[in-house]
């Protein structure tokens, strides 16, 4: 079933379902449904998947967020149905489960028309052209008339994609308290302002957001803008991630495109604080390039560009696995199309109250041996991680 779980995660996180139908019930009883369908719906400005359960005499509904949708779809295939047909904007998938529980996946070009989903796709954007958005205007992305500036269209898309990835984190954030968020290496803070706008002005959360960066001029620019926009609970500070010791607990830690091992420092802080949510998009990863050795991989590593890409993928794999070892349910997602930036991998992690990490620890140790590496992240995490590995 692993291939099915991966496919379902990809469909939910990266594609848009037009319709999905689960059918071919394995064991019929009076209490079970005969068929389940799924479509996308918007409820109170939030995207959900609506599951329709067809019983003999009635129909029941459940509206689920992305993570719960993944879990429910996997359960439907593991427990109830022999087949699922999933039509997305991009492809048609058919999943067939054998009597022994083995899954076969067939993929074809999409047969459902784009128009059928365009209504949903339009609503997918959290920020829309034509809706005057002060922070976008101040940052020069939107004109005072609400038009997206041509040269800033990619940035606008990136911000929307970021907010889409943030919106999946909402169920992990407690609306009844002030959510403390740190954005490490915030830079000019397009994404930090977008986060504030989304959580406070659109979703009604109480937040305390701090953007941290090494650069004095950037911090001055962002602080002035936060003041101008009256974003009272957003502040910026100059400093190094490693030396940031202001808090003992933080709910959400963000580190987008912070350079090289700065990402590891950010992850270490997040885990020490017991952050519920972590979002990291690593950048310019030089650490493993000189360190990795693997005789079997010479046919790949003898080419500079391939070795460089491989080294970054290995670094991200190490980070994602370390987060799992530290008790986080971790996803690796595409942040933005490759055509816009090569730095497109996002590590998204949610604190898991009941993690089972033994298998991951063993796999991680073997992986390190195979590549003969001792990753910096272990140094950044210190004893907390070493204890788990021993
Ligand atoms: C490429 S910019 C990314 C800005 C923003 N997060 C984004 O994704 O649009 C990276 C920023 O990280 C900051 N940075 C790098 N290492 C850092 C560290 N150790 N502590 C604080 N800031 C750091 C840099 O100064 C720079 O402004």
Q: Ligand 1 centre from 364 Cα, in Å?
A: 28
Whether residue 277 sits in one domain with residue 343: yes
Tally Cβ neighbours within 10 Å of residue 100.
5
Q: Averaged over 54-61, what is the pLDDT?
A: 87
CA 280 to CA 134: how far, in whole Å?
Answer: 26
Distance 96 CA to ligand 1 centre (A): 46
Q: Whose CA is nearest to atom 11 of ligand 1?
A: 185
Which domain-ending residue is among 123, 149, 181? 123
Digit-coded pLDDT (tens) for 327-349: 999 999 988 754 555 568 999 99
**Average pLDDT in the 126-136 region?**
92
Residues within a 6 A CB radius of ligand 1: 185-187, 190-191, 212-215, 218, 240-241, 256-259, 262, 283
Same domain, 166 and 148: yes
Residue nearest atom 14 of ligand 1, based on CA coordinates? 185
- At 185-233, the pLDDT tens digits run 999 999 999 999 999 999 999 999 999 999 999 999 999 999 999 999 9
- CB-side exposure of 326: number of CA atoms within 13 Å? 30
Greater confidence (203 vs 354) lies with 203
Atom of ligand 1 nearest to the CA of 283: 1
Distance 184 CA to ligand 1 centre (A): 7
Same domain, 181 and 35: no
Per-residue pLDDT band for 117 (boundaries 50, 70, 90) equals: very low
For 87, what's the count of Cα atoms within 13 Å in the CB-facing half-sphere?
A: 13
Residue 121 is predicted with a pLDDT of 45
At which of 79, 102, 123 does a domain end? Answer: 123
Kindly state the percentage of the chain with pLDDT values over 70.
94
What dihedral do alpha carbons 375, 378, 379, 380 form, nearest 10°? 110
List the residue whose alpha carbon is closest to atom 27 of ligand 1: 187
> Of 92, 123, 154, which residue constitutes the final position of a domain?
123
Instruction: Specify whether 25 is located in the same domain as 162.
Output: no
How far, in Å, is the centroid of ligand 1 from the Cα of 367? 29
Based on the fold, state whether residues 85 and 188 are members of the same structural domain.
Answer: no
Do 292 and 322 belong to one domain?
A: yes
Q: Ligand 1 pocket check: which of 191, 246, 258, 287 to mutate, most ligand atoms within 8 Å of Cβ? A: 258
Distance between CA atoms of 285 and 263, rounded to whole angstroms?
A: 9
**pLDDT for residue 119 is more than 80:** no
Number of structural domains (the chain) is 2
What average pLDDT does range 252-262 have in this prediction? 92
283 Cα–ligand 1 center, Å: 9
Amino acid 29: pLDDT: 74
The reply to whether 180 and 115 lie within a common domain is no
DSSP string, 196-242: HIIIIIIT--EEEEEEEES-HHHHHHHHHHHHHTT-TTEEEEE--GG
Mean pLDDT score of the chain, rounded to an integer?
90
Q: Are residues 293 and 235 in the same domain?
A: yes
Query: Would the pLDDT of 31 be above 90?
Result: no
Residue 390 to residue 380: CA distance in whole angstroms: 17
For the ranges 5-14, 27-36, 180-189, the maximum mean pLDDT occurs at 180-189
CA 214 to centroid of ligand 1, rounded, Å: 7
* Whether residues 93 and 191 fall in one domain: no
pLDDT at 30: 67
Domain that holds residue 20: 2-123
Question: Which CATH number fits the domain that encloses residue 231?
Answer: 3.40.50.150
25-34, 66-75, 115-124, 307-316: least confidently modelled range: 115-124
Judge if 107 and 232 occupy the same domain.
no
Q: How far is the CA of 111 from the centre of ligand 1 (A)?
A: 43
- Over its C-alpha atoms, the chain yields an Rg (Å, rounded) of 22
Residue 45 shares a structural domain with residue 141: no
- pLDDT surpasses 60 at 19: yes
**Neighbouring C-alpha atoms within 13 Å toward the C-beta of 92:** 9
Nearest atom of ligand 1 to the alpha carbon of 281: 8
In the prediction, which pLDDT does 120 show?
Answer: 47
Q: Give me the pLDDT at residue 99, please.
A: 83
Residue 127: pLDDT over 50: yes
The answer on 135 and 49 residing in a single domain is no
The pLDDT value recorded for residue 337 is: 56
């Amino acid at each position: 079933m692993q291939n099915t779980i991966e496919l379902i995660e990809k469909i939910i996180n990266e594609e848009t379902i037009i319709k999905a139908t689960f059918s071919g019930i394995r064991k019929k009883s009076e209490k079970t449904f005969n068929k389940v369908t799924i479509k996308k719906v918007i409820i109170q400005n939030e995207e959900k998947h609506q599951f329709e359960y067809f019983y003999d005499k009635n129909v029941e509904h459940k509206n689920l967020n992305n993570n719960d949708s993944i879990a429910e779809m996997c359960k439907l295939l593991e427990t109830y149905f022999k087949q699922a047909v999933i039509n997305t904007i991009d492809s048609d998938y058919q999943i067939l489960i054998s009597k022994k529980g083995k899954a076969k996946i067939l993929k074809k070009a999409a047969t459902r028309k784009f128009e059928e989903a365009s209504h949903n796709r339009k609503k997918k954007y959290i920020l829309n052209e034509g809706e005057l958005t002060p922070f976008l205007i101040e940052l020069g992305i939107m004109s005072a008339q609400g038009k997206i500036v041509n040269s800033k269209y990619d940035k606008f898309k990136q911000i929307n994609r970021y907010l889409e990835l943030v919106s999946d984190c909402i169920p992990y954030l407690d609306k009844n308290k002030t959510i403390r968020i740190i954005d490490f290496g915030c830079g000019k803070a397009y994404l930090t302002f977008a986060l504030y706008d989304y959580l406070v002005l659109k979703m009604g959360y109480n937040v305390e957001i701090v953007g941290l960066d090494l650069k004095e001029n950037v911090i001055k620019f962002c602080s002035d803008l936060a003041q101008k926009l009256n974003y009272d609970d957003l502040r910026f500070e100059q400093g190094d991630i490693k030396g940031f010791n202001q808090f003992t607990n933080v709910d959400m830690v963000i580190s987008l495109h912070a350079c090289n091992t700065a990402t590891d420092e950010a992850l270490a802080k997040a885990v020490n604080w017991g952050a519920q949510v972590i979002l990291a998009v690593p950048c310019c990863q030089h650490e493993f390039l000189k360190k990795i050795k693997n005789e079997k991989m010479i046919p790949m590593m003898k080419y500079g560009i391939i070795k460089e890409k491989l080294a970054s993928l290995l670094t991200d794999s190490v980070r994602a696995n370390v987060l799992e070892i530290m008790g986080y349910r971790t996803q690796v997602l595409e942040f933005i199309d490759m055509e816009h930036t090569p730095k497109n991998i996002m590590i998204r992690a949610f604190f898991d109250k009941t993690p089972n990490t033994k298998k991951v620890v063993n796999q991680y140790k073997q992986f390190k041996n195979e590549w003969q590496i001792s990753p910096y992240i272990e140094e950044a995490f210190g004893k907390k991680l070493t204890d788990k590995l021993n």
